[in-house]
Amino acid sequence: MSQSKSGSGITDKGVTAIPDSTEIRGGDSLRELSKRIEILGEKIDVLSSEISESKAAFEELSRLKEFLPLNIRVVEVRETTIEEAKREILEYCDKHKEGIFYPDDVADELGLDLKPTVEATEELMKEGTLDEVE
């Protein structure tokens, strides 16, 4: 957090600047100073609460991080027919001959929806074009 240039208070993302009326000026009465101190105390309470919420959210994200895959990527899925999916799956298998493939990985690689990919894979196995790994 940083002090604003006008000295009007603490500012940062999502935190409202303290209005200039809370600045302590020479000649302020004790009543005015007390009111400003009360306003600043309320703002400190709000900031403390926001800090506590942020810490809790950070701890939760840190805890969940261990369950997330290390490499996350966004896959744009396109619609296709079962026949088109079968053709693309076979092309994929021809390019990667020595591997074992799972329908979800192939769907991600090809940008296909998982359901038609699974259906196409099952049809290819029934036809004897692909072998199931046990």
In a domain, residue 6? The reply is yes
Range of the domain at 116: 82-126
CA distance 108 to 86: 15
How far from 64 is each of 42, 51, 52, 71, 80, CA to CA, in Å?
33, 20, 18, 15, 34
Q: Mean per-residue pLDDT for 5-27?
A: 53
Interval 19-60: pLDDT, tens: 555 566 677 788 888 888 899 999 999 999 999 999 999 888
In a domain, residue 75? The reply is no
Interval 53-74: pLDDT, tens: 999 998 888 887 777 766 666 6
- pLDDT of residue 89 exceeding 80, the answer is yes
What stretches of 4-113 show up as alpha helix (H) in DSSP?
A: 30-65, 82-95, 103-110
Question: 116 and 61, same structural domain?
Answer: no
**Number of independent structural domains in the chain:** 2
